[in-house]
Chain A
Amino acid sequence: MTTWLILFIPLISAVLITFVTRRQKDLSSYISIGAVVFCFILSIDPILNLLKHPHMEPIQQSFSWINIPGLHVEMGTLLDPLSILMLFVVTFVGSLIHIYSRGYMHGDPGFSRFFACLSLFIFSMFGIVLSNNFIQIFIFWELVGLSSYLLIGYYFEKPSASDASKKAFLVNRIGDFGFILGIFVLFQATGTFNFIEINHILEKGGIPDSTLYLAALLIFCGAVGKSAQFPLHVWLPDAMEGPTPVSALIHAATMVAAGVYLLARTALLYHLSPDAMEVVAYIGGFTALLAAVIAVAQNDIKRVVAYSTLSSLGYMVMAMGVGGMTAGMFYLTTHAFFKALLFLAAGSVIHAFHTQNIWEMGSAFKKVKTTGATFILGSLAMAGVFPFSGFWSKDEILTATFTSHHYFLFAIGILVAFISAFFMTRLVFVTFFGNERYHGHPHESPPVMTVPLIILAVFAVLSGFAGLPWFEPNFGTYIAGPSHGGHGEHGFNFFVAGLSTVVVLAGIALGYIIYCRELTKDPLEGNVLYKLAHNKFYFDEFYDNFIVAKIYNGIATICNFAEVNIIIHLFVNGFAYLTRESGKILRLTTTGKLQHYTLIMVAGVVALFLLFGAL
């Protein structure tokens, strides 16, 4: 019952705001905030329950939605450690971001619309987290895409924002197409959509490896789209056109993590298909590296954070790919805290400086002390400095990579850790220290914005201790429950931890050397690699000029031809012609003469008697 309540309260809030309280802006925001906070309070009970019983059995509540022979679709909720963890992350981070939005969006004309969309998003996200079958998760998967579209395009009067929202939606569609095909393949093989039933069938075995491989890869397509993995990563940086709280909530903490969550949900499937896991791991690793390199050469504070998100997502997917389900989910949790923190702090900075370009800020720390301090804490967590949360979670991923003998990926991971530390240092120094390059009089944000920052900062610093490898029960004990095929914990490896610490410190040192001085522009400008990275390795141009220009326009030409000739000429005009001509013929029968009609009537009576009469 509680789960259903959690699921539907945000929807009620969205509907209420849209139809009733649209004009009362304050009331709208209170409804939305109240809804998500209430959900957070409701979700405390399952969390406490989980903490009491680490190996809880999954609780399912479902009713039959479509039931015809050969197809049974349910609507239901599933509470297991995985979904409870996600529920906690979404409600907790969501609550803070809702509260923060009240300050950040203050005075915006679409205030109520913003909160309605946020509520809709929270509803859809709960749907993904709580669903117990593939059809339902797909429906909410699309709903999340829709609310993301609405929120990216929140400033729809700005062409770049509406373009970005369209791009996000369309790119996601590509991944989702693979996802639904994967669902069908899996349904074909197992005959059910229910996660738990599928897991039982998979455990029994008997499904050909090729089918599993295909299903795993296709479902991974969905994760690639939603979690913005290479080659569908192009939408996420553009999605930063949306308001900053949206970037924090949707494009950092929750929605983009849905892809990782999906991989964790279907962990058993990947466990049974090692080839697919390799693909997942390498795509994740490549994305992490690519995004980290691009992040070095960006000048927009939100974009840097966005690319760091991409990189982190790649990290998580890589963890999933090497079998570190627990590590991936742990990183997802800590990442949600410190990345939401980074975005919100970045939003607070933008709020203060009215620009997003870091070269127009500088020495900001003096003006926005709280924001600056929380941002630096978030950066340290992101960079993975001991003992911040990022250190523990990243360490688990690296350990998982190392112990599963993926040495190449391990090297990539170390490299990414180095680059991440470097660009986070760059961001911090360029934005908050150095010489003053801003104009006007920036001021600190109101408490409604800074208090969530402080709370998030506390979690960003401390949440790593939930996964300390030396204590039982720790994070992994709960998540790697009996119902999952993940490998569980990987212990602590002093070589890995030491290496990553050294590398991170090296990255920070390099960043300090290059950027901690009086600067007006990036000293690395002019470098070929910098240019490449600054232009995001020309992925957008490649997609625009090749995919869009050639393939897309080719399809458009064919569609146009088909539309003009088949639909318009054959169907539309053809039917009009047919109607007109048959009308001309039938017109002859309406002579307007009474006796003709009577004659036809009597003839009809005779005909009916001949056909059906008792003759």
Chain B
Amino acid sequence: MTKEYKTITEISGPLIFVEKTEPVGYMELVEIRTGGELKRGQVLDSSDEIVVIQVFEGTGGLSKDTAVSFTGDVIKMPLSPGIVGRVLSGSGKPRDGGPEIVPEVLRDIAGAAINPASREKPRAFIQTGISTIDGTNTLVRGQKLPIFSGAGLPHNDLALQIARQAKALGEAESFAVIFCAMGITNEEAQHFLADFERTGALERAVVFLNLADDPAVERILTPRLGLTTAEYLAFDLDMHVLIIYTDMTNYCESLRQMGAAREEVPGRRGYPGYMYTDLACQYERAGIIKGKKGSITQFPILTMPGDDITHPIPDLSGYITEGQILISRELHRKGIYPPVDIRPSLSRLMNSGIGKGHTREDHRAVSDQLYAYYAEGNDLRGLAAIVGKEALSERDKLVLEFADKFEKKFVNQGRDEDRTIFETLQIGWDLLADLPEAMLTRIDDKYIKAYHPKYAGTAKAAEAPKK
């Protein structure tokens, strides 16, 4: 039995202001009825005199006579195992023509923070089959690793390839993919869905679609719904969940729009001062909980406005996520796929997922050595452009050549090429073998003896008698 109010005093952008209500809870779900249509909203500010509500489906068609009722509860997501395989709208309504989700549980979409003391340290290596990730920016289960990209770059292809190929070494287990689209075009959404269908991934996926022409405010809900679903699948149903959301830039634009509508004091570039906290509340919902079988791994995609990594959106994201994969326009122009620039890319959890018992003992050393010479080779390109290749010292020429070969052989790979970690490391060693052994300063001698192609025969021979 809920009262209806017809006391709207102001409508401004996505917000409505209602006065003379019963005490209303902060963040409470609101239902707005206009001409047979039901819209939903959320309380942003509640006081004795006035209640401010943001309307998810847009304020079009609302007037001062519109009836508003308060549900007395915060927004909850209906969940059941049947949600897997469904396509839903950005506000959680069926979009595939199927029935409503019959809830087994209802979950608050705001989500509580995982107690840091209950978190398990993420350290299970995930093989994506992509050398620039597995070899040099290793992903582990429970990590949040965004793709920083720009308009017109193949970040979606990379995300799809990861979704297709990602697996733990040597074990089969139940896993699910959640795909949250926020403000992407219909065409992009079709691309994702078609690929999911082609590979049969849709059967174990939950898709949330908020397209470019759907209300912007709805976008604020979409990742929360996706993550609430992810937590249910991971921590109630013991699944390993990979959640891809694209594009975080659109989400942040919606936040800014809301902030402006509320006349808040803006932070950097007009984005609200609480954007860091807000983004953290999404990104931090990745991880593993002690004693639970499931996990949540996040792959947010964001396009950097003007390819500017210092823009507030990539900047704040980078401070929260555990690294980033950077897509480079320059490599893309050279025809290299995936055009991942490893220099500014980083995986913060790499160390706990590689080495003995995870991948191979020489992994860290090989990766560091590749990084060092690729970075140096890149610097030398600038020099070579000025003084000419001939003026370089012999050592510098070798390093320069190394950088070129690194891009062609290590970075570049096919869209369906699924390299094992050992293949990736082998490519790395083959490239390093072209340099004099004395230049491999970051690699312990014992690894050189064991894995350097030059010693490949002798190392095996030395191992053999032991067995």
A binds B: no
Where the two chains meet, the residues of A that have a C-beta atom closer than 8 Å to any C-beta of B are: none
